[in-house]
Amino acid sequence: MSELPSATGRSWIGPRTKIALAIAFVEGIIVWVGHDVSRWMVFGIAIPFVLLWTVWGRKSNRRLIREVTWTAAASQALALVLVILAVILSWLALVLAVVLAVVALLFLFADRPKR
């Protein structure tokens, strides 16, 4: 596990956490930019990696296996969070656009000249 910061100021983000964040960032950019990579593909990739760590990696006696499977599972879980946030934020942006359009129409109709 990552260590908490000590009095000497060591970071609580360990090397494997940094690697997982970097992988998730790159994968998020690929999904955002690439038209061939769907959001469902991220789900399809993340689930086996998380299951692999859960079933095999965390119970392994070998430290290398535990760390590699943890890093892979963490990076895929973070990429999954990025995709879910992108979906939520895109819907939020659409809802806000509709609300602003309705408010603009209300202002336009309320500002009609009186006869």
Block means of pLDDT (10 residues each) for the chain, length 115 residues?
A: 49 82 88 78 93 94 94 94 87 89 86 71
pLDDT of residue 110: 79
Tell me the three state secondary structure of residue 59.
coil
Non-local CB neighbours of 57 within 8 Å, separated by 6+ positions: 65, 66, 68, 69, 70, 73
pLDDT, one tens digit per residue, over 33-45 is 876 778 889 999 9
Which sign does the torsion angle of CA 36, 38, 44, 50 carry?
positive
pLDDT of residue 38: 80
DSSP line for 63-95: HHHHHHHHHHHHHHHHHHHHHHHHHHHHHHHHH
pLDDT of residue 10: 54
